[in-house]
Amino acid sequence: MPETPLRRYDVVTFGETMIRLHAPGYERLEATNHLDIRIGGSESNTAVALSRLGTQTAWWSKLPANSLGKRIENEIRRWNVDTSAVIWDTTPEARTGLYFLDFGTSPRPTEVLYDRANSSASTLAPTDLDASLIQQTRLLHLTGITPALSETCAETFRLAIALAKESETLVSLDTNYRGKLWTSKRAYETLLPVMPELDLLITPLSDAEIIFGITGSGAEVAREFRQRFNIPSVVVTCGGEGAYACNAEGEWFSQPHALGQVVDRVGAGDAFDAGIIYGYLNDDLLGGLEYGIAMAALKHTIPGDLFIASREEVERLRSGGETGIRR
Ligand code: KDG
């Protein structure tokens, strides 16, 4: 990994965080009288998880200047993520995105319903971007969700990467394909030009095929991304079957931890990203892979999108794990 100068933040990220609503228990949305209210957004989920590991993080977005916007910002700040750059939208149309979860258990999948069109975050535009935020961080973390939100978000995403390159800020991307937001063709056309700019790519095996038509085992796909786009570090996740990582020093595979009762799997990929980035910034991609695998497993035990666990808990699971009651 290239040397990075001393900077105010380790990681800056931006994107949309929504109000998350789900029926308690496994009630169907169609029938429930109650909704549990939380917040969720891939990038802020990763920022919170990184912060739990002791990393200096900042999250940037646009939120409506109303109680729902404040709820989102308060919750992210509560976990020591710097939110001071958030833009407050005071227009009459200002709104947060909403997402509803219809929790399923096998064989019924969990269903996500978005109500986020024209949200304040989707109006983010290049003129909103504060270049100093990107200049002050060691790494800029992005996901493929942000450019899917609108054309101005896609332009902002591209500008952020260009600014990062200018200021020698590292760039990581999780492809995070969301078929409910855009087509695989648009994802391909948008992400292809930025691939050679990345320092670290994290992609599920399924996204590699859907967006880039790249198939094979996790190891083959990871190698293909490194070679085709000259990306120094690549991590490929294979659903419940573990993850591969490769860089110039080697290739590694890590198996998933056995899961007990799944409490909430949403956000597990974002917690995984946090582990990877943490290891990457410490020049230890293998350590990051082990952290990511442990964090994704722990996230399955925690309700809500956010990774509310400590580094000690991650370390404990990473080095063998234990269950039951600690007294
Ligand atoms: O990874 C969890 C995300 O899917 C959730 O927080 C909602 O950000 C979200 C999205 O756009 O799907």
Over residues 146-182, the pLDDT tens digits come to 999 999 999 999 999 999 999 999 999 999 999 999 9
Which pLDDT value is given to residue 105? 85
Ligand 1 atom nearest the C-alpha of 268 is 1
Nearest to 69 by CA among 118, 28, 16: 16
Does the domain made of 9-318 have the CATH classification 3.40.50.300?
no
Report how far apart, in Å, the C-alpha atoms of 280 and of each of 57, 182, 189, 235, 322 are.
15, 30, 28, 11, 26
Is the pTM of the predicted complex or chain greater than 0.85? yes
Q: In angstroms, what is the span from residue 2 Cα to ligand 1's centroid?
A: 30
Please report, for the chain, the start and end positions of each structural domain, with discontinuous segments joined by +.
9-318
Element (H, E) at 236: strand 233-237
Strand 87-89, strand 98-102: pairing: unpaired
Q: Is the CB of 45 under 6 A from ligand 1?
A: yes
Residue 208: the pLDDT is 98
- Residue whose entry in the numeric block shows the structure tokens 């200002």: 94
Contacts of 47 (CB under 8 A, 6+ apart): 11, 13, 57, 58, 59, 76, 81, 141
pLDDT of residue 257: 87
- Phi, psi angle pair for 86, to nearest 5°: -55, 140
96, 103, 145, 300, best to mutate for ligand 1 pocket (most atoms within 8 Å of CB): 145
| Tokens 């990345």, residue located | 198
Q: Is 102 in the pocket of ligand 1 (CB under 6 A)?
A: no
- Give CA 249 to chain center in angstroms: 25
Residue ranges in the chain whose pLDDT is less than 70? 1-5, 321-327
Chain centre to alpha carbon of residue 25: 25
Look up 199 and say whether it is catalytic. Answer: no
- pLDDT for the residue numbered 320: 80
